[in-house]
Structure 1
Amino acid sequence: MSTSYSSYTRDRIGWFFGLSGLQLGFLAVAVLPVFWSISRGAWASAMLLALVWVGAALVTAVPVRGRSAIGWIAASTRFAAGGLAGWTTFQSAAARGRAADLDSPDLPGVLQAIDVHEGPPHGADMTRVAIVQNHATRTWTVTAAVVHPGVGMMDPHTRRMQGEALSSLLDVAARTEKIDELLIVVRTVPEDGAERDLWVSGHRRPGAPVLAEQINADLARGLSLASVRTEMFVTLVVPDARIARSARESGGGLEGRCRELHLLMGEVGAHLTGPLGMTSVRWLTSPELAAACRTGFAPGDRAGIIDALAAHATHPGVNADVPWAMAGPSGADTTVRHYSHDAWNSISSTIKLPTRGAVMGALAPVLTPSEPGERRSFLVAYPLVSPTKADRQSGNAEWAADLAQGMNEKLGRKTRAARRDAQDATRGFDAKLARGSAMTRPYAVVTVTVAKTARITEYGRRLDSDVRRAGFAPLRLDLAQDVGFAASTVPMGISLTRSGGA
């Protein structure tokens, strides 16, 4: 028996026939001209206005691939306006020969509002952790590279303990009243064999048999094509409004905010290495985060970075750092259904949770590349709701569920099983909040990246097929492919839940 998650509920419960209060109010006001024409006996006008009202109802209430028609019209208009203004096309300053400050990030899209600061020395090794400041969303972000043994070989009891440890981590993050969102990014990159090549070159013995060297070379080539490397990052997102006051007490300015972030890093890091069983938690410095950003946009650059780091270990004069001015792509283009960056194309989709629940570890097919050279990236985001707001929203959702059920009973309309299960889960959510559990609105984004020589549409269909095979439903992030890519691939705190460009 496997651990599963099935006690989640819809974010909002419709009051009347699944409609929200805003939708119901709009339709109620829009139908008034119809009754006014009927009262005056203008039947022709009444029929015409009724047809108009039906069209307005379809546009307002019927979702099309996750959005209403009005939402699609607004998004398409903004996308077209951005294309005409040249906002969907990016070219780095370094590619134009105008890179003045190499330490200043030059990144496309939603990453343009980001600054990266080096924090004060922290920990026993006195490292300077990279502090990411997002001016558009007014947030501060720190990222850790973590290593986890995985849950594939764990027994059901251990899996259940891992799930409870994740829930406990979210509760701890919510109780700090400072962490706004916890982001987990996993990247399965093609194995380039860089580390093995370095090891072989350092341990090759002179006079070795030619046949042995040929066998080792053939094994390395075959294993590299069939292997992938998993990279995992945990990112903490903290709004400036939540730490501004305590930062003033810690010295103010950037240093005061860094001290507050270090406290949160210690609290979350202890939970990651403890109950969650992470074998390694390393908070990234600015050069390490720049390298992670660069390999996110260009997976093929990783081998060169590894070789430079190895050369730097023996020859300190070798520059192994990736400048922030070159950490992004040299050029990027946003289209309706995919994102183009340098010599790569990417497609991003969200994942809808199934009604019957999700088994822990069910996302393994989504993270498994289907062809050599393919990169899969996955984001699981946990936006945390403050206890006060969670209690208010829980009460409103419970009241809306009771109102919807009561109106259906008066109208003689039978409540369907799916709606009834959602209403029962909503009523039981208040008990979980009373026991101290945190309220979160989790979502997931998965991205596939391949070289431009491959057909990105085919790999997008394979990604959707793997999502369905895992028991979920994919939803392509049309008109927002650049945001989906940045959120699921570049571990710098980009989110789909905050306005202001992220």
Structure 2
Amino acid sequence: MATIYSDYSRARLGFIFGFSGWQVSVVALTFLPIAGAVSAGAWRWVALFGLLWLAISALTLTPVRGRSAVGWLQAALAFAVGGLTGWTSFRATATSGTADDLDEPDLPGVLQAVTIHDGPPQGATFSRIAIIQDHRARTWALTASIVHPGIGLSESEVRERYGSGLTELIDLAARTEMIDEVLFLVRTVPEDGAERNQWIARHRRADGPSVARRINDEIQANLTRASVRSEAFVTFVVPEGRLSRDAKESGGGLDGRARVLYSLAGEVEAQLRGGMGMTSVTWLTSPELALACRTGFAPGDRATIIDALAEKESDPEVNAEVPWAMAGPSGADPVARHYSHDAWNSISSTIKLPTKGALMGALAGVLTPTDPGERRSFMVAYPILSQAAAQRQSATSEWAADIGEELNNRARRKQRASSRAEAEKVRGLDAKLARGNALTRPYAVCTVTVPKTQGVAGFGRNLDASIRRAGFAPLRLDLAQDVAFAATNIPLGVSLTRKAN
């Protein structure tokens, strides 16, 4: 039996015939010259102002691929200015031999303001968890590598329990009054056979039968081409404004912030292992996080890094770590419809939740590659509203639903079934908040990455087709491909909804 989730609604409802307040204000203000011309009897000016009013109304009210025409104009101008001035183009300092500090991250785009700190030793192994500080967004974050058995063959009761575990995790994050976003990131990469090759090298005998050697080699080659490898991460983000007060009580400075973040990590890990059924939760150290970032930008580098790690076990002189100055790409250039980084191109699309509901586990099909050599990844984010903000949004949305319904009745305009359903969900939101549930605005972004020797446009169409087969509607994130790539492949807490401070 399938588990369907449909208990969601739009973040904001248009209270005047489905349009928001600023849209109605623009239309009303631009109509004033027409009214003035009519009162003066200047009919020629009425016709001229009427044409201008229709053009402005169309630009303001008509959405084009998720944005208004005004929004597209602003984004296009910003993208053009960034390209002409060279702000969006990135070249790593290591390529010119000017990287002075190998521990300083050298990352492109929205990741340029990120600093990685080593937290204080903790646990029996005295590991130092990497603390991610984003100076641009004024946030702190921790990232863990997670392993889950999956839900592909699970019964409906198990799926319901995992779904409830995710709900409890979001409610737990809201109750801390510190965590404002939880992000899950999954990357599916083609199998490179690195671990299998090492196992064969350790166990193959020189005097073994040639037939067995040939059979194992054929199995290795066929399985490597047909297999994929998945890796998953979870990141929680805490704004500086919420963290600073508790950090002062814990000693202040980086150590005080680390103690608070460590305590939050313990709460999150308990819920991940318990309600959500994670079999492994490992908070990443700085070298492990650098490795995750490097393989995010360049999937083909993983095999050589695995070989270096294996050689380090027998030869301690081998350097198997990736310095932060080289964890990013050697070069990156955002294009309007894709993102170019090193020898790879990536295309990202966001998804729209269907009205009929989303099948739990449906995004698994999006991770399945359609051709050899491509990598699929997605990020699901849960921005959590504070209790006060949730109450304000609930009251505003309910008021907008009531006003919209009353205006439709007075205009004798029949309300659509979808609008009625949205209004009912909004009216039930206040009761859920009163029961202690948290309010979140989840979104998801999916990305495909392929070598530059292959045409990325075709893989982008295949990604959109996979999203549609999963039951969702894709929307290409044009003019924002670099940010979307960073959010879906680099586990550093990048968000598409948080504004820079």
TM-score range, shorter chain: over 0.9
> Equivalents in 2 of 1:146, 1:67: separation in Å?
35
CA deviations on 1:466-496 (whole Å, 9 max, x unpaired) are 0011110000000000000000110000000
Structure 2 counterpart of 1:224: 224
| 1:248 match: secondary structure | helix
Structure 2 counterpart of 1:387: 387
| 1:25 match: secondary structure | helix
Structure 2 counterpart of 1:191: 191
Structure 2 counterpart of 1:33: 33
Structure 1 counterpart of 2:249: 249
Count the aligned residue pairs: 501
> Equivalents in 1 of 2:60, 2:4: separation in Å?
35
| 1:127 match: secondary structure | coil
CA deviations on 1:204-254 (whole Å, 9 max, x unpaired) are 123101111111011011001100000000001110110101101101000
Shift of residue 365, structure 1, vs aligned partner: 1.5
Shift of residue 434, structure 1, vs aligned partner: 0.9
**Which stretches of structure 1, 4 residues or more, deviate above 6 A after TM superposition?**
none
Structure 2 counterpart of 1:106: 106
Shift of residue 276, structure 1, vs aligned partner: 0.7
Once the two structures are superposed, the pairs formed by residues 228-377 of structure 1 within 5 Å of their partners are 228-377=228-377
> Equivalents in 1 of 2:100, 2:149: separation in Å?
43
Matched, 1:150 2:150: yes
Structure 2 counterpart of 1:90: 90
CA deviations on 1:89-135 (whole Å, 9 max, x unpaired) are 11100011111110000000000000000000112221000001000
> Equivalents in 2 of 1:500, 1:391: separation in Å?
24
| 2:120 match: secondary structure | strand
| 1:104 match: secondary structure | coil
CA deviations on 1:48-95 (whole Å, 9 max, x unpaired) are 111111111111111100100000001000000000110121110001
Structure 2 counterpart of 1:67: 67
Unaligned 5+ segments in structure 1 are none
Shift of residue 363, structure 1, vs aligned partner: 1.1
> Equivalents in 1 of 2:39, 2:113: separation in Å?
57
Matched, 1:496 2:496: yes
CA RMSD across the alignment: 0.8
CA deviations on 1:236-279 (whole Å, 9 max, x unpaired) are 11101101011011010000000000000000001111111100
> Equivalents in 1 of 2:78, 2:223: separation in Å?
46
| 1:439 match: secondary structure | coil
CA deviations on 1:356-400 (whole Å, 9 max, x unpaired) are 100101112211011111100100000000011101110110000
Unaligned 5+ segments in structure 2 are none
Q: TM-score, normalised by structure 1?
A: 0.99
Structure 2 counterpart of 1:51: 51
| 2:137 match: secondary structure | coil
Shift of residue 14, structure 1, vs aligned partner: 0.3
Matched, 1:161 2:165: no
> Equivalents in 2 of 1:258, 1:458: separation in Å?
45
Percent of matched pairs sharing the same residue = 60
> Equivalents in 1 of 2:448, 2:246: separation in Å?
41
> Equivalents in 2 of 1:379, 1:473: separation in Å?
16
> Equivalents in 1 of 2:182, 2:428: separation in Å?
25
CA deviations on 1:170-223 (whole Å, 9 max, x unpaired) are 000110000010000000011001011111111112310111111101101100
Structure 2 counterpart of 1:176: 176
Structure 1 counterpart of 2:426: 426
| 1:120 match: secondary structure | coil
Amino acid at match of 1:290: A
Amino acid at match of 1:99: A
| 1:471 match: secondary structure | coil
> Equivalents in 2 of 1:52, 1:124: separation in Å?
71
Matched, 1:202 2:207: no
Shift of residue 315, structure 1, vs aligned partner: 1.2
Q: TM-score, normalised by structure 2?
A: 0.99
> Equivalents in 2 of 1:248, 1:383: separation in Å?
25
> Equivalents in 1 of 2:306, 2:72: separation in Å?
44
Amino acid at match of 2:97: G
| 1:128 match: secondary structure | coil
